[in-house]
Amino acid sequence: MRRFFTFCGAALMMASCAADKQEMVLNGTVENYEGTEVVITMPEGEEWKSDTVKIENGKFQYTKALTSPEVMRISFGDKGGVVAFAEDTVLNFTVNTDSVMGYSLEGSKTQDEYKVASKIDEKYRPQFMNLREEYEKANAEENKEEVEKIIAKYDELDAQISKEKTAFIQENPNSYASAYVFSRNVYYMDLEQMDKTFQLLSPAVQSSFYGKNIKEYIDANKRTAIGQKAPDFKLATPEGGELALSEIKGQKLLLIDFWASWCGPCRRENPNVVKMYEEYKGKGLEILGVSLDNKDENWKKAIEKDQLSWKHVSDLKGWSAAPAKLYGVRSIPNTFLINEKGEIIAKGLHGEELRETIKAYLN
């Protein structure tokens, strides 16, 4: 059901493996574009690095040393951008910025493999769009019975997509496109599915940029599986002190709420959390807000404006925040419920589902 809802998501970031580097030469042809530059973004170390390349007479050329095929985003200002696969060879890229998604990239074997996987999403996209419209209509009308029917249809469709993408990975274990496809689908899998699918990848692909990223996410999910002790962490508070998760005591139920001031879905969810906290704090509920902000001022202003009266911590490192990596948080808002024994009893809940779970536990 996750694809129905809006979250703030992180780019997948991990270091690629060390190996001998060879060079990619990307020859670009750009049509119907008034801009003079193209921005090419690729992974480098643990970050994403962007290079600006001049366009002259509708042409550009970009060279890059690579150790393996990599994903690159080619952006054309307000015209948008595309995702393509770079390889250590000569590539020919053509795009009309009136319709960037109609681009072509010749010379990349990984790109050709990715096109096959992309057709899976294209095939089911109309059905997803129809279900989304039906869901929004039923939800607005507060027709719970119809909402449940739509969710059931969605789950069936999602399961079929996952099945077809897993088949693609199984048929292409040596393709770096498989790691990318897996990374885009991993959030819709349970832990067992993640583990089994990861084992389908060849050792080289497991060691790739996205392969390592997936492995990190799987390991984090194992650490935070239902029934596991919640991993401890210690961060700065808005008041200038420090607070560790293990220092919060006396509550029957602790909600760890990952959020950020810049996250629209988080801010829209905050009024519901405030109401829930007021209702259940006297019955043993405590909340720890973990912010993925980068700026101290924005973080503190949002706490005050949204009237978030519970405990807060942040290291102001955005998606690189230590607890986000520890808990495998790749989208926000994101939640974890911890019982009085320090065990994780639920995670990833929002809205009414979160409220009902808290109500059932505390009552």
Q: Residue 18 — pLDDT band, cuts 50, 70, 90?
A: very low
Between the alpha carbon of residue 166 and those of residues 20, 70, 181, 184, 208, the distances in Å are 30, 20, 9, 12, 18
Tell me how far apart the alpha carbons of residues 299 and 293 are, in angstroms, rounded to a whole number: 6
Is the per-residue pLDDT at 98 higher than 90? Answer: yes
Is the per-residue pLDDT at 87 higher than 50? Answer: yes
238 with 99: CB under 8 angstroms? no
Q: How many residues does the chain have?
A: 363
- Which residue reads 């890229």 in tokens? 93
pLDDT tens-digit profile of 247-285?
998 889 999 999 999 999 999 999 999 999 999 999 999
Give the residue-averaged pLDDT of 143-166: 88
pLDDT tens-digit profile of 165-217?
989 999 999 999 999 999 988 877 889 989 999 999 999 999 888 899 899 99
CATH number of 234-362: 3.40.30.10
Q: What is the pTM of this model?
A: 0.78
Tell me how far apart the alpha carbons of residues 135 and 363 are, in angstroms, rounded to a whole number: 31
Structure tokens at 336: 């974890």
Q: Residue 158 — pLDDT band, cuts 50, 70, 90?
A: confident
Is the per-residue pLDDT at 11 higher than 50? Answer: no
Beta strands 285-291 and 253-259: pairing type? parallel
Is the per-residue pLDDT at 230 higher than 50? Answer: yes
Contacts of 182 (CB under 8 A, 6+ apart): 165, 169, 197, 198, 201, 210, 214
Q: Residue 12 — pLDDT band, cuts 50, 70, 90?
A: very low
Q: Phi first, then psi: give them for residue 84, nearest 5 degrees.
A: -145, 170
Between the alpha carbon of residue 189 and those of residues 196, 217, 291, 331, 360, the distances in Å are 10, 12, 25, 15, 26
Mean pLDDT of the chain: 90
What pLDDT, on the 0 to 100 scale, is given for residue 288? Answer: 98
pLDDT tens-digit profile of 339-360?
999 999 999 998 889 999 999 9
What pLDDT, on the 0 to 100 scale, is given for residue 249? Answer: 87
Pick the more confident residue, 289 or 208.
289
Give the residue-averaged pLDDT of 312-337: 95
Is the per-residue pLDDT at 45 higher than 80? Answer: no
Most confident of 2-11, 122-131, 278-287: 278-287
What pLDDT, on the 0 to 100 scale, is given for residue 26? Answer: 97
Q: Residue 8 — pLDDT band, cuts 50, 70, 90?
A: low
Is cis: bond before 333, omega within 30 of 0? Answer: yes
**Domain parsing of the chain, residue ranges:** 6-107, 111-223, 234-362
Contacts of 311 (CB under 8 A, 6+ apart): 237, 243, 248, 286, 287, 288, 289
Tell me how far apart the alpha carbons of residues 193 and 1 are, in angstroms, rounded to a whole number: 16
Contacts of 172 (CB under 8 A, 6+ apart): 113, 178
Query: Which of these CATH numbers, 2.60.40.10, 3.90.1170.50, 2.40.30.10, 3.30.930.10, describes 6-107?
Result: 2.60.40.10
Question: How many other CB atoms are found less than 10 A from the CB of residue 199?
Answer: 9
What pLDDT, on the 0 to 100 scale, is given for residue 16? Answer: 36
Q: Residue 7 — pLDDT band, cuts 50, 70, 90?
A: low
